[in-house]
Amino acid sequence: MKINKLKSLAAALSLPAGSNMAHALMPWNDGPPDIVIYTSGGAAQDRAIDLAVVSSLVEPETDDWFSDKTSTGSIGSRWRAYYFVGKSTLGEGLAGRKILFEKRSYGTAGYGVVPLVGNDGRGISMEHFNIQGLPQTIWTADGAKRWVASITGANASTYLAKVLSDAGFLGADPGILLKLGTESYPEQVKELISGRFEADWPTDIDRFPDTFAALIG
């Protein structure tokens, strides 16, 4: 995972830890999160991220998952958000806090690097899953603590918001992925809200900036 910026997380480290909640978090009952982290990139890591979030970040029994459901029935293959209480072992600032961790897989590996590096390192805003402020009535239950929604161009503005990614996941060697002038170089996918490509997609990125920090190789 390559980190561009984690301003929300850094700010949270200075907050006092709250008391742990014993119930699963739902935005229509528990209000907005204290910390929001948006990520994007390789779909190959989706299952590993599911397991890592539950085992390392979540206070047991406090997590609800929100996922998109495609026309083919695939759940979470484009967007997924986890809303949970930070595990007691995370330390001050994260333990006991309400955390929203979102993963965009739409666009696959290229969206784990190009939008983060673009715009001279300032990043390019793109569609991320937004569950804040949404009522329970627009979700369909998919088992205990699991919620899904079918997102199309007609309702995308309800479920998606254009924001910068805080972190990116890669499912390919960056040296191969960012090889200029080849089929490997990341291509765009169209936005659901507008039906168009994001503006200012760079086609000349051939490496990660030195200011990026590699948390996971």
Give the pLDDT confidence score for residue 213 in this predicted structure. 52
Sign of CA dihedral 52, 25, 27, 73: positive
C-alpha span between 177 and 190 (Å, rounded): 20
117-174 tens-digit pLDDT? 888 778 899 999 999 999 999 999 999 999 999 999 999 999 999 999 998 887 677 7
pLDDT-derived band at 73 (thresholds 50, 70, 90) equals: confident
Give the pLDDT confidence score for residue 139 in this predicted structure. 96
- Average pLDDT of the chain is 82
36-52 tens-digit pLDDT? 999 998 777 788 889 98
- Cβ-based neighbours of 71, under 8 Å, separated by 6 or more: 150
pLDDT of 210 above 90 = no
pLDDT-derived band at 5 (thresholds 50, 70, 90) equals: very low
Report field, pTM of the whole predicted structure over 0.75: yes
Give the pLDDT confidence score for residue 216 in this predicted structure. 41
DSSP 8-state code for residue 134: -
Residue ranges covered by each domain of the chain: 2-214
Give the pLDDT confidence score for residue 102 in this predicted structure. 95
Sign of CA dihedral 90, 94, 96, 98: negative
Among 155, 101, 162, CA closest to 127: 162
pLDDT of 97 above 90 = yes
Mean pLDDT of 70-83: 91
